[in-house]
Amino acid sequence: MAALSGGDYRVREMVTLLGESQNLISYHLRLLRDGGLVRATRSSFDGRDSYYHLDLDCCAEMLTGAGAALHPALGLIPTAPQFDSQAPASVLFVCTGNSARSVIAEALLRQRTNGRVEARSAGTRPQPIMHPNAVRVLREEFGIDISGQNPRHLDALADHRFDTVITLCDKAREVCPEFGEGTRWIHWSIPDPSEAGGTDEDTYPAFQATAADIDTRIRYLVPNLTTET
């Protein structure tokens, strides 16, 4: 669970990461899925594979419930993140088209940190324009306007250094280049909402679900980007 709290992994990656057998890891993943603590998504790069993701909201609810059951004074008290103004964190979000997932993540991280984290996004094969539903969901659900923003190619940031690089697309993960030593790599396996099929109106609910998923992940990412002052 601690490993999955930092990003999404395939079973074989967890075997290497944890040094345990595949059968043992698969067994515990099945138990965690049955308990609602872990979710799985089919890889968009290799449909025979799956990525596992820890549902941190569910974990928080269960921990809070367990504390309250033990003693009413025991609960999780959220604290505001502290930022080191002398060394702000820098984060790059990467997907394929840079027209939906990564740009949504960039906008939400910037909003959740009031611009105190340098958030950028790019695509391995950027689309000509932002997806209309990405613009719409940020405007309607979060009050963010990205209508004047254009997709960016990853090559444009080749000389830039980031503290954290987060891939949100299984395909982009396979081709994303390295950004130097000391960069923290995270993968979020998030399906492309534009592939839900149909008109923009038909796929808008998929964009709402994707934005909500990304926002949840951002909320839990922020404390890991802060530096105590």
Q: Which residues does the annotation mark as catalytic?
A: 95, 169, 176
Distance between CA 172 and CA 185 in Å, rounded?
A: 13
User: For residues 15 and 25, what is the distance between their CA atoms, to the nearest angstrom?
Assistant: 7
The string over 123-135, giving b where at least 16 C-beta atoms fall within 10 Å of a residue's C-beta and e elsewhere, is bbebeeebbbbbb
**C-beta neighbour count of 213 within 10 angstroms:** 19
Phi, psi of 46 (to 5 degrees): -135, 100
The three-class DSSP label of residue 11 is helix
Q: Supply angle C-alpha 220, 144, 53, rounded to 5.
A: 25
Name all contacts of 28-36 with Cβ < 8 Å and 24+ positions apart. 32/1
Q: At what angle do helices 200-225 and 132-142 cross, to 10 degrees?
A: 60
